[in-house]
């Protein structure tokens, strides 16, 4: 059997596990730039100095369902390519799915298409992947054509109830994941699965953290820290959340369970 088929199959299974319940109606997303598409809850941002043992901070982890059978599916490329995916084609797309033009679903789709078509920030390479093949092609372009790929994601091994915004404490020293490059992928609200995947030039550091919530919720979280934000738009949501200016401090954020990071399989802690 072709070893690349084995690697691709393993990656697909990993992706299915981390997809979670991508409820199309649950949230809509701003289309302005970069992190606005992550999740409507903005309590995922923090400064790099807070990434340390014993630090407590308010965080919201969406209640992703890890059961792939309850999730929408990744379209094969031939099927995804047969459906228009652009703002100009929005009326035709709505007609394809039989959604009214003045509906909430139409607004969510418009936001997603706007985010996908927005100009990348400086040093960013991005794509909205509508199929597994498109996602893999993009990842291999960034990480290396002959590179086997590993999926890293946040998971909640112990949860007390549904997700809530609460204080979480870092219970173990954060571990830095050594990787030359990474591709971050965020689920977008759409009738079928769409991933906003992007790679950022510069010093971006990936970490694995263990957290304990006030209600007993335990989370093994993936976090990325962007060490230079001087070129980011000052309207970036993280600056508003943290009350800081571009370039004044490295900014980190946790990944919700339904999002993930792709790295070379040789990456290590």
Q: Which residue has the higher pLDDT, 145 or 34?
A: 145
Residue spans of the domains in the chain: they are 3-264
27 pLDDT higher than 90: no
**Is the pLDDT higher at 253 or at 234?**
253
More confident: 87 or 231: 87
Burial environment of residue 110 by CB neighbours within 10 A (0 to 12, 13 to 18, 19 or more)? middle
* pLDDT of residue 151 exceeding 70: yes
pLDDT band at 237 (very low <50, low <70, confident <90, very high): confident
In this prediction the pTM is 0.81
With b for 16 or more beta-carbon neighbours within 10 A and e for fewer, the 114-144 pattern comes to bbbebeebeebebbbbbbbbbbbebbbebbe
pLDDT tens string 48-80: 999 999 999 999 887 654 433 334 567 889 999
Backbone angles phi, psi at 152, to 5 degrees: -115, 135
The Cα-based distances of 18 to 5, 226, 246, 262 in angstroms read 20, 23, 32, 12
What's the rounded mean pLDDT across residues 129-158? Answer: 89
At 202 the pLDDT is: 84
Mean pLDDT of the chain: 82
- Residue 175 predicted with pLDDT over 60: yes
How far apart are alpha carbons 162 and 164 in whole angstroms?
6
Q: How far apart are CA 52 and CA 47, in angstroms?
A: 11
Residue of 262 and 230 predicted with greater confidence: 262
CA distances from 97 to 101, 108, 109, 192 (A): 11, 13, 11, 11
Confidence bin at 12 (pLDDT 50/70/90): low
According to the model, what pLDDT value does residue 23 have?
56
pLDDT, position 74: 77
CB atoms closer than 10 angstroms to residue 6: 11
pLDDT at residue 147, rounded to an integer: 74
Burial class of 146 by CB neighbour count within 10 A (0 to 12, 13 to 18, 19+): exposed
């Amino acid at each position: 059997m072709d070893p690349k088929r084995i690697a691709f199959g393993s990656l697909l299974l990993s992706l299915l596990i981390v997809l979670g319940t991508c409820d199309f109606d649950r949230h809509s997303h701003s289309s302005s730039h970069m992190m606005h598409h992550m999740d409507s809850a903005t309590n995922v941002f923090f400064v790099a100095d807070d990434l340390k043992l014993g630090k407590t901070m308010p965080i919201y982890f969406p209640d992703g369902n890890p059961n792939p059978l309850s999730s929408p599916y990744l379209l094969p490329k031939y099927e995804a390519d047969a459906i228009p995916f652009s703002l100009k084609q929005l009326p035709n797309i709505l007609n394809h799915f039989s959604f009214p033009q003045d509906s909430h679903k139409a607004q969510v789709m418009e936001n997603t298409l706007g985010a996908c078509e927005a100009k990348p920030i400086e040093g960013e390479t991005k794509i909205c992947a509508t199929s597994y093949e498109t996602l893999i092609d993009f990842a291999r372009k960034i990480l290396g054509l002959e590179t086997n790929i590993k999926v890293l994601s946040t998971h909640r091994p112990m949860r007390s109830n549904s997700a809530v915004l609460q204080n979480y404490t870092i219970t173990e020293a954060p571990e830095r994941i050594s990787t030359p490059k990474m591709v971050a992928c965020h689920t977008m609200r759409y009738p079928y699965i769409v991933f906003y995947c992007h790679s950022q030039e510069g010093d971006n550091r990936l970490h694995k953290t263990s957290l304990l919530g006030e209600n007993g919720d335990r989370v093994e979280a993936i976090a990325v820290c962007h060490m230079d934000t001087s070129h980011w738009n000052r309207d970036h949501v993280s600056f508003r959340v943290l009350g800081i200016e571009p370039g004044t401090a490295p900014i980190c954020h946790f990944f919700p369970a339904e999002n993930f990071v792709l790295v070379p399989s040789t990456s290590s802690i």
